[in-house]
Amino acid sequence: MSELQQLGQILLQSIFAQNLVFIRFLALCSFVGLTANFNSAVGMSWAVTFITVLASAVSFLVYHYLLVPFGLEYLQTISFILTIAVFVQLVEIYLKKAIPSLHRMMGIYLPLIASNCMILAVALLNITEQYNLLEATVFSLGASIGYAIALIIMAGIRERLVYAKIPNLMKGYPLIFITSAFIAIAFMGLQGLGR
Amino acid sequence: MNIGTIILYSTLTLLVLAGVFGFVLGFFSKAFKVKEDPRLQKLVDILPGANCGACGLSGCQVFAENILSGKAQIDGCRAGGEELIKQISDTLGVKAEGNFEKRIAIALCHGGKNEANISCNLEGAPTCQSIKNLKLSPWVCEYTCLGKGDCAVICPFDAIVMNEDQLPEIDPKLCVGCGICVDQCPQKILELFPAKTGVLCFCKNPDKGSIVRKACKVGCIVCHICEKKCPENAIRIVNNLPVVDTEKCTVCGICVSVCPTKAITLYKAISGKK
């Protein structure tokens, strides 16, 4: 299998077959919390994509050039948390200065991202799957596209649910959980993709 | 490697990592420091924060920025009203200018479930807009309130509730006159009026009296009695509907008492009715 084919496989796998929200059940709090409004879902998706790709590359470098040479692989979780938190702060400071319009668009989501478990999961999965830097970047891009798809599907459905007649028993979170379960079942059908 | 060196190594590595990150973060926050007007945050805090867009800008944050740069007037916020203008002028140290008249949305239709005649049953339709798109009205009157409460859903200040008569009931205390419901209403029943409004014709049907009489108990049947009886000549019939001139109207109530269908009503009396 050529290199390019392998990258494509990783991308497809991470978007659909290993979708972080629907198959691995990560990042559920932002999935439920930020999908009430379509625009905020899109904003969050942009911010997460941006941060995940950059932060997973940085934590990849931290792991391979700092932890491995000293034999400290067991410190990966705590050092990744540190790296991601610092990195989100850096990006926020930089965006505020350099691109204020982008900062206004995703600024409110950046503090949320610092504690988003999806980004830590992507950084850790990059290590356990033993990807190289290019593969890790492609994987994190695919994972965040998968997250964006999940958020956008859910936000689209929830905007329509506002106008639907729902029994009182089901209003709010119960219906959201049932809806996301149905979407997750649909994503199960994509398991074979990228094999 | 014994336990002591492991602890030492891992602590040292984390300390170095944290130290380097801390240094980088400190350096960046100095290098990329943005000078922000301290008044901006204060302004954002006192603005209503509903991002209703009545000022013509995309939100409260942008409105605050535009006030500071002088592009927006301090009386531009409809939602905040007089009190907000005072607060802004206190914050900025400028004198409040421009007279602000509070406006509220009023639904110009009293043809609810009990008054208007029904032509077909569309109980299941979820929104007013969906009924409008069908080009099929559940009411005989084409101009009536459709009663599904699109205005109540869209109102960012929760000022509108649908009453049991399927008419919007607007709380004049909660309504700030942002006008979002006015744009939302597919029948154009809602309009903005000064909060001190006295008498109004609560009917928007411009058809002839005989047609209106078949459609609704409280529609204007264009009998011209109000026009003739008004001592101030404040009422004119335009387009088969009475228009009240608020400059001339003294709210004497004669038109209200002579109107045979009670289409003209005192606004205050309605807001008190429950």
Q: How many domains does chain A have?
A: 1
Mean pLDDT of B119-138: 80
Decide if A163 is inside a domain: yes
Decide if A193 is inside a domain: no
- For residues B225 and B186, is the Cβ–Cβ distance under 8 A? no
pLDDT tens-digit readout, B188-232: 888 888 877 778 888 888 888 888 888 888 888 888 888 888 888
Decide if A148 is inside a domain: yes
Which residues, including other chains, have CB under 8 Å from residue B108's CB and lie 6 or more apart? B189, B190, B191, B200, B201, B202, B203, B204
Decide if A114 is inside a domain: yes
Run of H or E including A185: helix A173-188
Is the ipTM above a cut-off of 0.85?
A: no
Helix, strand, coil abundance in chain A, percent, nearest 5: 80, 0, 20
Decide if A110 is inside a domain: yes
Decide if A195 is inside a domain: no
Nearest to A79 among B14, B127, B153 (CB): B14
For an interface test with B, the pick among A62, A84, A90 (most B C-beta atoms closer than 10 Å) comes out as A90
Q: What is the pLDDT, as a whole number, of residue B272? A: 43
Q: List the domains of chain B with CATH numbers.
A: 38-92 (1.10.15.40), 103-272 (3.30.70.20)
Mean pLDDT of A91-114: 76
The percentage of chain A sitting over the pLDDT mark of 70, rounded to a whole number, equals 96
Cβ contacts of B33 on chain A, cutoff 8 Å: 97
Decide if A91 is inside a domain: yes
Cβ contacts of B18 on chain A, cutoff 8 Å: 82
Which residues, including other chains, have CB under 8 Å from residue A19's CB and lie 6 or more apart? A146, A147, A149, A150, A187, A190
Nearest to B25 among A78, A90, A164 (CB): A90
Search chain B and give the residue with CA nearest A166: B126
Which residues does A contribute to its contact with B (CB < 8 Å)? 62, 66-67, 70, 72, 74-75, 78-79, 82-83, 86, 89-90, 93-94, 96-98, 100, 104, 162-165
Q: What is the pLDDT, as a whole number, of residue B268? A: 60
Instruction: For residue B215, give the nearest of B108, B109, B111 by alpha carbon.
Output: B111
Q: What is the pLDDT, as a whole number, of residue B273? A: 42
pLDDT tens-digit readout, B2-61: 888 888 888 898 898 899 999 998 898 888 877 777 788 888 888 887 777 777 777 788
Decide if A158 is inside a domain: yes
Mean pLDDT of A52-74: 88
Domain that holds residue A102: 7-188
Confidence of residue A152 (pLDDT cuts 50, 70, 90): very high
pLDDT tens-digit readout, A11-27: 988 898 888 899 888 88
